[in-house]
A = this chain, B = another copy of it.
Amino acid sequence: MFDRFLRTLARRDSSLPEASRQALLEAFEPPRYVTAGSAMVEQGSRPDCSTLVLAGWASRYSTLANGRRQMLALQIGGDFVDLHSYPLKTMDHGVAALTDCTIATIAHERLRDITERDAHLTRLLWLLTLIDAATLRKWLLGSGQQPALQHAAHLLCELYTRLDAAGLVKDALVFELPLSQEEFGDALGISAVHVSRTLAELRDVGLADWRRGRVRIRDWRKLAEFAEFDPTYLSLVDEPR
């Protein structure tokens, strides 16, 4: 159940004591299902627990008065969607399930116990929120300085790398991407129409192919170079044995 999360943890810190890992898992509430489209955390709310995605895709997003929406993160199995809501209290953005999801929550009270008693685990949780922040920096860099084509390529590189780290890639260079082009555009900050043209161009130049929810990367090295993708920011240590 928690295997993707454990894998994600191990890829970030292979030295976490077994006791800490165990204590963390036991602090979670029993898993629940949420259906695609449902709100997992409301913008402006003050949650009393944080939510971990066990399976499925979720998105964090912020909305403007004119209805425009910016996705702030894409979360997959093994990701915390709002670990930061423990220190930060008020949610400055919302979280929604993009697909049916299995989730597990952990009460902020339990997180407080952890910060009081387990310094090592606390540092690891802190690290997880900082990796989110590093990812956000890449998104801002792409949004501000890269043309749509490179920006889209970078996001595909990011997703493939993260899915692989979570053990969610079955065939090399292929992954399921259960988003509409509208949603992908919300992540990149471009319109759905422009997403369509951008994907067509990525396909035409032979870098990547996204059809019917399945992305095939045609040439990883070229794609990564084109997007200036450097996975260091994801803080993935070597594959655990």
Interface residues of A (CB under 8 A from B): 44, 62, 64-65, 68-70, 72, 84, 87-90, 92-93, 115-116, 119, 122-123, 126-127, 129-134, 136-141, 143-146, 188-189, 228, 232-233, 235
The docked-state distance in angstroms from the alpha carbon of A70 to that of B130 is: 19
From DSSP, what is the main secondary structure of chain A's interface residues? helix
> Nearest Cβ in chain B — how far from A143, in angstroms?
4
Q: What are 11 residue pairs bridging A and B, where the CB atoms are less than 8 Å apart in the complex?
A: A65-B228, A70-B141, A72-B137, A87-B130, A88-B127, A88-B134, A132-B133, A136-B136, A140-B140, A140-B143, A143-B189
Q: Are A232 and B70 in contact (CB under 8 A)?
A: no
Integer count of this chain's copies in the complex: 2
The docked-state distance in angstroms from the alpha carbon of A93 to that of B136 is: 12
**Other A-B pairs beyond A70-B140, A119-B119, 8, CB < 8 Å:** A44-B232, A69-B145, A87-B130, A88-B131, A89-B235, A90-B235, A129-B133, A136-B136
Known: A129-B130, A143-B144. A137 touches B93 (CB 8 A): yes
Q: In the complex, what residues of B have CB within 8 A of residue A65's CB? A: 228
The docked-state distance in angstroms from the alpha carbon of A69 to that of B144 is: 9
Q: Are B126 and A129 in contact (CB under 8 A)?
A: yes
Q: In the complex, what residues of B have CB within 8 A of residue A228's CB? A: 64-65
Q: In the complex, what residues of B have CB within 8 A of residue A131's CB? A: 88
A71, closest chain B residue (CB): B144
Q: In the complex, what residues of B have CB within 8 A of residue A68's CB? A: 145-146
Known: A70-B144, A126-B87, A136-B133. A116 touches B115 (CB 8 A): no
